[in-house]
Amino acid sequence: MISGIGLDITELDRIAELDNKSDKFRNRILTTEEQRYYENLSNHRRIEFLAGRFAAKEAFAKALGTGIGPTCSFLDIAILPDDKGAPILYFNGNLVDGFVSITHTKTVAAAQVILQKM
């Protein structure tokens, strides 16, 4: 049974601008494990990864019904690849019963999250 659906889209230029200023935005969005993946990517791919994770975490918070805030922060959410590279959602260290899809174009990253009964 579906308990929540969330969708988010973000502009790559906006994320690139924030990331190029300093690592503050990145450290607020990516968990330590996610940052390890980020560090091993090329410059453009880093922006896609960061923008995709930002959009997916926003989409998760919308699907959860809380939004980003005290009960659901960016660092409470981790999106890590499975053995085939597909994104898997974790919330507070626990595997989430649901699905996440992340996509990119030349200008935007978008994500959709579908949660099953939590």
The half-sphere exposure of 5 on its side-chain side, counting CA atoms within 13 A, is 2
Q: Taking a C-beta distance cutoff of 8 angstroms, is the pair 5, 115 a contact?
A: yes
Catalytic residue among 44, 104, 106, 117: 104
Catalytic residue among 21, 24, 62, 117: 62
Query: Which residue in 17, 72, 26, 20 sits closest to 53, CA to CA?
Result: 26
Residue the block writes with tokens 């990331």: 19
**Quick check: is 57 catalytic?**
no
**Quick check: is 44 catalytic?**
no
The residue count of the chain comes to 118
Q: Which residues are catalytic?
A: 62, 104
